[in-house]
Amino acid sequence: MAVRAAVAGASGYAGGELLRLLLSHPEVEIGALTGNSNAGQRLGTLQPHLLPLADRVLEVTTAEALSGHDVVFLALPHGQSAAVAEQLGPDVLVVDMGADFRLKDAGDWERFYGSPHAGTWPYGLPELPGARAALEGARRIAVPGCYPTAVSLALFPAYTAGLVEPEAVIVAASGTSGAGKSPKPHLLGSEVMGSMSPYGVGGVHRHTPEMIQNLSAAAGEPVTVSFTPTLAPMPRGILATCSASARRGTTPDAVRAAYEKAYADEPFVRLLPAGQWPATASVYGSNAVQVQVALDEAAGRVVAISAIDNLTKGTAGGAVQSMNIALGLDETTGLTATGVAP
Amino acid sequence: MAVRAAVAGASGYAGGELLRLLLSHPEVEIGALTGNSNAGQRLGTLQPHLLPLADRVLEVTTAEALSGHDVVFLALPHGQSAAVAEQLGPDVLVVDMGADFRLKDAGDWERFYGSPHAGTWPYGLPELPGARAALEGARRIAVPGCYPTAVSLALFPAYTAGLVEPEAVIVAASGTSGAGKSPKPHLLGSEVMGSMSPYGVGGVHRHTPEMIQNLSAAAGEPVTVSFTPTLAPMPRGILATCSASARRGTTPDAVRAAYEKAYADEPFVRLLPAGQWPATASVYGSNAVQVQVALDEAAGRVVAISAIDNLTKGTAGGAVQSMNIALGLDETTGLTATGVAP
Amino acid sequence: MAVRAAVAGASGYAGGELLRLLLSHPEVEIGALTGNSNAGQRLGTLQPHLLPLADRVLEVTTAEALSGHDVVFLALPHGQSAAVAEQLGPDVLVVDMGADFRLKDAGDWERFYGSPHAGTWPYGLPELPGARAALEGARRIAVPGCYPTAVSLALFPAYTAGLVEPEAVIVAASGTSGAGKSPKPHLLGSEVMGSMSPYGVGGVHRHTPEMIQNLSAAAGEPVTVSFTPTLAPMPRGILATCSASARRGTTPDAVRAAYEKAYADEPFVRLLPAGQWPATASVYGSNAVQVQVALDEAAGRVVAISAIDNLTKGTAGGAVQSMNIALGLDETTGLTATGVAP
Amino acid sequence: MAVRAAVAGASGYAGGELLRLLLSHPEVEIGALTGNSNAGQRLGTLQPHLLPLADRVLEVTTAEALSGHDVVFLALPHGQSAAVAEQLGPDVLVVDMGADFRLKDAGDWERFYGSPHAGTWPYGLPELPGARAALEGARRIAVPGCYPTAVSLALFPAYTAGLVEPEAVIVAASGTSGAGKSPKPHLLGSEVMGSMSPYGVGGVHRHTPEMIQNLSAAAGEPVTVSFTPTLAPMPRGILATCSASARRGTTPDAVRAAYEKAYADEPFVRLLPAGQWPATASVYGSNAVQVQVALDEAAGRVVAISAIDNLTKGTAGGAVQSMNIALGLDETTGLTATGVAP
C-alpha cells in the first residue's frame, strides 16, 4: 500500500527536488502540494522540469490541506514548522527540511536564528553514530542543513577515531541553489557566473552551531569550527574542504582505516580509492557522497574532503533516506540513481 | 529474465550516459564493457559518477567480448560499427549509437562522411511517422543523431500537416558533451565558458542530410535545410530553433492543432502550454522533449523550438527507448526520470 | 580640456559598463552619477568592480544633478528619456542608451512599446551607410539596441550589395546581462546556468522593428525579419546567426567581396579570415565586432554571423563611439582594449 | 622612447594575457613573439581575441629571435628559463613568468619540481615588505605563482603585525585558465562546468613552498601551511580563503588596523569596507586585488580572503607591474583598467 506524501513548500528548490525524487519512489504516492505566495499556480509553471506533475495546482499551506497523508514534508521558512507540525497528529511522519528542530542547544538557536527555540527532533543524518537507530520508527525528523551534511560526513570519522584535535577549519563551496529561489540581485546569473565569493564569514553562518554539535558529539568534547562558505558558479553541489590538526602519532594508515571502517557499510557514502578526489559533478542529482582524506604531515593536518549535491543528499535526498528508515523501508528505496555527468 | 546488455565504447560520454540509464533499467543486466585506448582501466576512473560500476574494468572491443549478450550497444567512431555487427549474429539486438546506418542515400553518406556506405537500419526515432512499427522486433537499430532528433521533433508535425513550405532554417545550440570527450583546445573549459560560437556553418555539418531525410519524408517532397550548429557554455542540452515559411492560409489554430495531434499520445514529447517555451534545463538528464510552436504572421514563418538532453533523448535515452520497443518492453521502461533542475 | 560627462542610471549594467569605459577614456572626466531607487548608495556597493569610483555616491536623477556637463548619458527605463532630455539644453550632447528615439515609425513604436512616440534621433551605429555623417556634430544620439547592433552588422552588407532577398531569419543568443539587473526568478544563476531558452518568440521582441528598419534601409525595400532571441548561460555576449535567401547568381566570391568592401575601413568590425568563425569570448569586454559569412549553395542562403559584447559594442561602447564622433574626437578613443579571453 | 618587448611562449594563456596588457601599455612596443609547437601559426588563430596582433606569426623560441629587445618575458615550461636567460645579456630585463627563479631554498625546489635549482631572482610581488626596493633597476625578475600572490596578499599583514600563530590553513578556488591551455580530459568544458573539485591535496602542490617562503619571511619564523587548491567552474579568478590562529589578545580593531596600514598606499590592493567581501568577478581582467579580513572570536582564527584574476595580477599583470618598477616607470602604467563585470 502506497505511502501518501504531502509537500508544504512545493514551489522552491527543496520542494522541487523532493518531488523529483518522490516521482521515482516506488512506495510513495504524491498527495497535496502547497505553497503560499504561489498558491493557485500550476506546477508546470513553477517547476517546469517536473513534467508528470505539470497540471497539479498548488494549494495554500494549511493543516487541512496537509491532513490525510502518511508523511508530510515541510520546506518552509524557518520558524514556521512547529505550528504546522502541531496540527498534524502524532502518527503522521513529519519531515522538516528547515532548520527549526536541528539544534539541541536553545541558546545556540536563539543566537543564530533570533527566535524562540522550537525543540529538537531526531536528526536525519543516518551515517552519524547512533543516528540511524533514532530514526527507526520516528514520527518527527529534522533534516540536516546542507553544509553540516557535507562537513559532518567528511570529518566525523577522524573524530570518532581520535585522530585529530578538537578544532576544525572548513571552507565549503556551494552551488547557487543553496541560496534559494527568491530573487536577489547578487544571485542573478549575471553576477554569479564567473565568480567565486564568500559570505557569512567569521563564524556567523547559521550552519556553524550545527556542525559544532555534530563534530563535538563525534569527538566527545567541544570542537571549535572555523567555517567559511563560498558561492560557486554552478547550480548544485557542495565541495567541503575540511581539516583539523592531527594528533601526535596519527599515521596515514590510521586515517585511511578510520574512514574505511566508518563507511564500509554505508550505502550512500563512497570513500574513494587513494589518489582520487571528490567532484561535485560526480554526485549531481544523486544521493551519493564522495569522500577522500589525506594526512599532510608537513602541515600536521588531516584534510578531508566531501562532495554532495546540496539539494539531494544535502536536503531532499536526505529527507527521503530518513523517511525510508522511519517507515521501515529499505533505506535506499527511490534513491539509487547515480549522478548525472558530465 | 534479465536482458543482458554489452556496451562497446563505455568510456565516452554516450557510453557513460547509456550506463547511467541502464543502471536504472529494471529489465537490464549490464554485461561486458569495452573500450580501446582505455581498455584495462577501472570505470571508476573513467566515469566517476557511475559509482555502482566503479570496480568494473574495460575490456578491449572484440566480438568475443561482446558475444553472449541479448543486446549490444555500439558507441564507436563512425565507420567501425559494421565490422563489429557482422560478427554478432542476427538474433542479437545491435543498437548503433553512431552514424553508420542512419542515412538511406549512399551518396549523401559518402559526401558527408568520406567513406563507403555501410547500409541502413531501422531508425530509432519512434515519434516519426511509421518509425515505431519498423522498430518492433528489430534486431538492428540506428540511433539518430542528437541534432536530427531535436530538429525532426520540432518540425515534422508542420510538414506532415502541410502547413509549411519545403525549406527550413535551423539554428541549434548544443552543450559541449555533444563534441565528445576527446580533449581538444577549443573544448577546454577555459575556452567554452562564457562563449557562444558556431561551427560547421554553411551546410557542411554531417547531421544535415539526416535532417533533410527526416523532414523530406514528412513533407512528401524534398526539403532544403539551412543548419547552423552552435556550441553553448553548458555540458548538456540542445535547443533547436527551427522555422519554415508558412503556406498561404496557415493559421495559429491549425499550427497548434497539428502539434497537439502529433504529440497527443507520445510519452516523451511534451507540447508546452501556449506561452511557455522550452528550456534545456528542464530536460537535463531526462528522455523528455519539450516542444513549442508559434506562427509569426508578420514574417510569414512557423517557428518551432525543441529542447532535449543531447546525451539522453539525443543519444543514449533514444537508444534505450528503441531497445524497449524492439524487445517488446514498455517503451518508457527505465526512462521515466524527470529532468534534474535547477 | 576634458569632456565632462554625467551618467543617469549608473547602478545598472549599462551604466556600469559605460563607467568602466569612461574611466579609461583619456578625454572624459566623470561628473554626476544618478539613480533612483539606489540614490544615496555608494557605487562601491552597487558596482564593486569600479574600484576607482567606489566612494562616489549616487544622486537622484534630476535635471539639476545632470546640468553643467558636456555630455549626459541616459540609461533609463524606456519612456523616461524625453522628459530629461528636454531640460538639458540643445548644446549638451545627450546620448540615450534606451529605446525611446531609435524608431522612425511612430506606429511601430506604439505597437511594440505601448506608449506615445518621443521622436527620432541620429542613430548611433556609425558602420551603417550614412550613419557616421549624421552623428558628426550631433547633440542627440539614440544608441541602438544590442540585438539590432549585432544583426545589422552581420547582414547589411549583403543587402547593400543586392545579394539576398528581402527576408531574414535570425536566431541570436544573448548573455544574461542583456536582461538587466532587476532580480527576477528566471534570471537567477540557478536557473540560467546550464540552460538555453528562447523568449519573445514569433515576432514580438521589441528589437524586431529596429532590425527591420535597418535592414530595409540597406535593402532599399521592406525586409521581413523572423527574429528569435535566446538566453545563453553566460554573463555577456551576443552571437547572432542570420541568414537570407541568396539572389540568383550570388557567388561565394561576391559575398566575400561585399563584406570586405563594407568593413575594409571600419576600426571595430573584423571580418574574419575564411574558415574562422566568431566567438563571443573573443570580444568579451571589447567594442570589437567579429563577422563571418558563407554561402550555403544547397540551401540557397547566405549565412552571416556576428559576435559582440552586448554591454560594450551593444550598448555602452557604441555610446562612447558615437560620442567620440559627435564631439570630433578620434572614433576609437577609449575603446581600443581587446577582448578579455580566455 | 618605446620599450621594446619580446614574449617567449605567446600562444599560451599567460602569454596571451601579457599581450593583451602590453597592447594597452603606452610605453611598450611589442616585438618578437615566439612559441615552439605553434611556431609558424598566425596569432589570430591562437589568440583570436588579440585582434590587433592577428596577422603576427609566431617564431621559434631562440636567443636570436629574442635578441634586440629591452625586455624579454618568458612564459615557458619550468626548467627552460635559465638556458634562455643566459643568452640574453645582463642589460636586458628578463621577466620569468614561470617558477624557475622563485624559490630561495634549492632543496624545496628539487623536492617539488624534481630538477636542479636554477637560482633565485628578485621576486615580483612588490607589495611584500622590501620587495619593491629589490625590483627597482632589476634586470632579472621572478614573477610569483598565482596562488602565492593571492595567499601572500591575504595573509602577510597579519604576520608582519604579529597577530597570528605560524600556521595557516588555505583553501583556494581557481578558474580553469590556471591549469593552462594544453588539452587534458579533466579540463574539458563538459567536465568542469558545474563542478568543484580539489587537486594537489595534502601539501603536494608546487606553490606550497612559495607560500611558506613568503609567509615565513613576514612572520620572522617558519610558518606551516596547509594548502588545498580547488578547480572552479569559471575561466579566471582566484578566491583564497586563508586563516590562522589568532594570538592571545588579538582584537578586531588590531586586525583591521594592520591591514589598513599594509595597504594604505598600495595602488592595486583594495581593502574592502567592513562587511563587503571579495568576489573574483570584481577583478576580472584587472590587476586589482580585493582583500577583506575578520576575526572569528569563537573559533580563535583570523580569516583573510583575497580575490585576484589569476592571469592578470596572478601572472601577466604582476609581470608588467614589476617591469614598470624595474624600468623606473610609474608602477600602474598600462594596468589601470578595472575589472570587467558583470
Return the DSSP state at B339: P
For residue C160, the tally of other CB atoms under 10 A from its CB is 18
Return the DSSP state at A58: P
Distance CA B30, CA B53 (A): 9
Kindly determine whether residue C285 and residue D340, on different chains, have CB atoms separated by under 8 Å. yes
Distance CA B214, CA B56 (A): 39
Nearest residue to A190 via CA among C180, D234, D309 = C180
Instruction: Give chain A's mean pLDDT.
Output: 97
Chains that touch D (3 or more CB pairs under 8 A): A, B, C
Pick among B49, B292, B312 to test the A interface (most A CBs inside 10 A): B49
Nearest residue to B100 via CA among B115, B89, B87 = B115
* Predicted pLDDT of residue D1: 63
Contact D234, D280 (CB under 8 A): yes
Kindly determine whether residue C198 and residue B239, on different chains, have CB atoms separated by under 8 Å. yes
**Looking at beta carbons, which residues of chain C come within 8 Å of D281?**
49
Residue of B nearest to D189 (CA): B189
Residue of A nearest to B16 (CA): A341
Kindly determine whether residue C196 and residue B303, on different chains, have CB atoms separated by under 8 Å. no
What are the grid coordinates assigned to C95, written together? 546620448
CA dihedral B310→B315→B318→B322, nearest 10 degrees, is 170
Distance between D198 CA and the closest CA of chain A, angstroms:
7
Q: Is B260 exposed, middle or buried (0-12, 13-18, 19+ CB in 10 A)?
A: exposed
Consecutive H or E run containing D8: strand D3-8
Residue of A nearest to D236 (CA): A194
Tens-digit pLDDT profile for residues A259-313 = 999 999 999 999 999 999 999 999 999 999 999 999 999 999 999 999 999 999 9
Distance CA C91, CA C43 (A): 29
Distance CA C17, CA C285 (A): 9
Contact B15, B143 (CB under 8 A): no
Distance CA C34, CA C10 (A): 6
Mean pLDDT for the stretch of residues A174-191: 97
* Predicted pLDDT of residue D44: 96
Q: Using 50, 70 and 90 to split pLDDT, how confident is the model at A20?
A: very high
Kindly determine whether residue D235 and residue B175, on different chains, have CB atoms separated by under 8 Å. no
B294 in contact with chain C, both atoms CB, cutoff 8 A: yes
Kindly determine whether residue A13 and residue B285, on different chains, have CB atoms separated by under 8 Å. no
Return the DSSP state at D73: E
Distance CA D187, CA D203 (A): 22
Tens-digit pLDDT profile for residues D318-328 = 999 999 999 99
Residue of D nearest to B12 (CA): D185
Distance CA B79, CA B102 (A): 12
Distance CA D123, CA D135 (A): 7
- High-pLDDT (> 90) share of chain C, %: 99
Q: Using 50, 70 and 90 to split pLDDT, how confident is the model at D88?
A: very high
Chains that touch B (3 or more CB pairs under 8 A): A, C, D
Q: Is A327 helix (H, G, I), strand (E, B) or coil?
A: helix
Q: Using 50, 70 and 90 to split pLDDT, how confident is the model at C1?
A: low
Angle at CA of residue B88, ends B86 and B90, nearest 5°: 85
Indicate the residue type of D50: L
Q: What is the 3-state secondary structure (H, E, C) of A195-235?
A: CCEECCCCCCCCCHHHHHHHHHHHHCCCCEEEEEEEECCCC
The torsion angles phi and psi of C9, rounded to 5 degrees, stand at: 100, 45
Active site residues of B: 146
* Predicted pLDDT of residue B1: 63
A280 in contact with chain D, both atoms CB, cutoff 8 A: yes
The torsion angles phi and psi of A245, rounded to 5 degrees, stand at: -60, 130
Nearest residue to B91 via CA among B29, B8, B3 = B3
Nearest residue to B73 via CA among B28, B129, B125 = B28
Distances (CA, A) of B215 to B164, B223, B312, D191: 11, 6, 22, 34
D167 in contact with chain A, both atoms CB, cutoff 8 A: yes
Instruction: Give chain C's mean pLDDT.
Output: 97
Contact A119, A215 (CB under 8 A): no
Kindly determine whether residue D338 and residue C51, on different chains, have CB atoms separated by under 8 Å. yes
The angle that helices A13-23 and A317-327 make with each other, rounded to 10 degrees, is: 50
Distance CA A133, CA D175 (A): 43
Distance between B183 CA and the closest CA of chain D, angstroms:
5
* Predicted pLDDT of residue C247: 98
Q: Is C29 helix (H, G, I), strand (E, B) or coil?
A: strand
Kindly determine whether residue B189 and residue D191, on different chains, have CB atoms separated by under 8 Å. yes
Q: Is B53 helix (H, G, I), strand (E, B) or coil?
A: helix
Q: Is C283 helix (H, G, I), strand (E, B) or coil?
A: helix
Residue of A nearest to B23 (CA): A337
* Predicted pLDDT of residue A1: 63
Contact D83, D69 (CB under 8 A): no
**Helix, strand, coil in percent for chain A, rounding step 5:** 30, 25, 45
Q: What Rg, from alpha-carbon coordinates, does chain D have?
A: 19
As beta bridge partners, residue C242 has C170, C304
Instruction: Give chain D's mean pLDDT.
Output: 97
Distance CA A224, CA A204 (A): 13
The torsion angles phi and psi of A257, rounded to 5 degrees, stand at: -65, -40
A175 in contact with chain C, both atoms CB, cutoff 8 A: yes
Mean pLDDT for the stretch of residues A62-89: 95
Q: Which mean pLDDT values do the consecutive 10-residue runs of chain B (342 residues) have?
A: 94 98 98 95 97 97 96 95 94 97 97 96 98 98 98 98 98 98 96 97 97 98 98 98 98 98 98 97 98 98 98 98 98 97 96
Distance CA B272, CA B293 (A): 9
- Tell me how many residue pairs between chain A and chain D have CB atoms under 8 A apart: 168
Return the DSSP state at D99: S
Kindly determine whether residue C176 and residue A184, on different chains, have CB atoms separated by under 8 Å. no
As beta bridge partners, residue B171 has B228, B241
Q: Hey, CA dihedral for A248, A249, A252, A254, is it positive or negative?
A: negative
B16 in contact with chain A, both atoms CB, cutoff 8 A: yes
Angle at CA of residue C144, ends C142 and C146, nearest 5°: 150
A295 in contact with chain D, both atoms CB, cutoff 8 A: yes
Tens-digit pLDDT profile for residues D31-71 = 999 999 999 999 999 999 999 999 999 999 999 999 999 99
Return the DSSP state at C235: S
Contact partners, residue D308, CB within 8 Å, separation at least 6: D146, D149, D150, D153, D237, D238, D240, D280, D283, D288, D289, D314
Q: Is D7 helix (H, G, I), strand (E, B) or coil?
A: strand
Q: Is D224 helix (H, G, I), strand (E, B) or coil?
A: strand
What are the grid coordinates assigned to A157, written together? 570519522
Number of H helices, E strands in chain C: 11, 13
Q: Using 50, 70 and 90 to split pLDDT, how confident is the model at A111?
A: very high
The C-alpha cell 495531434 sits at B261
Kindly determine whether residue A303 and residue D279, on different chains, have CB atoms separated by under 8 Å. no
The angle that helices A252-263 and A146-160 make with each other, rounded to 10 degrees, is: 120
Is A174 a residue whose pLDDT tops 90? yes
Distance CA B76, CA C153 (A): 42
Distance CA B165, CA B155 (A): 11
**Looking at beta carbons, which residues of chain B come within 8 Å of C281?**
191, 194-195, 197
Angle at CA of residue B47, ends B21 and B36, nearest 5°: 100
Return the DSSP state at C338: P
Return the DSSP state at A92: S
**Minimum-distance CB partner of B235 among D176, D177, D194:** D194
- High-pLDDT (> 70) share of chain C, %: 100
Contact B85, B132 (CB under 8 A): no
Distance CA A277, CA A283 (A): 12
Distance between C103 CA and the closest CA of chain A, angstroms:
29
Mean pLDDT for the stretch of residues D244-264: 98
Contact partners, residue B316, CB within 8 Å, separation at least 6: B14, B15, B17, B18, B20, B21, B97
Active site residues of A: 146
Contact D155, D215 (CB under 8 A): yes
Kindly determine whether residue A199 and residue D277, on different chains, have CB atoms separated by under 8 Å. yes
D274 in contact with chain A, both atoms CB, cutoff 8 A: no
Distance CA D282, CA D313 (A): 13
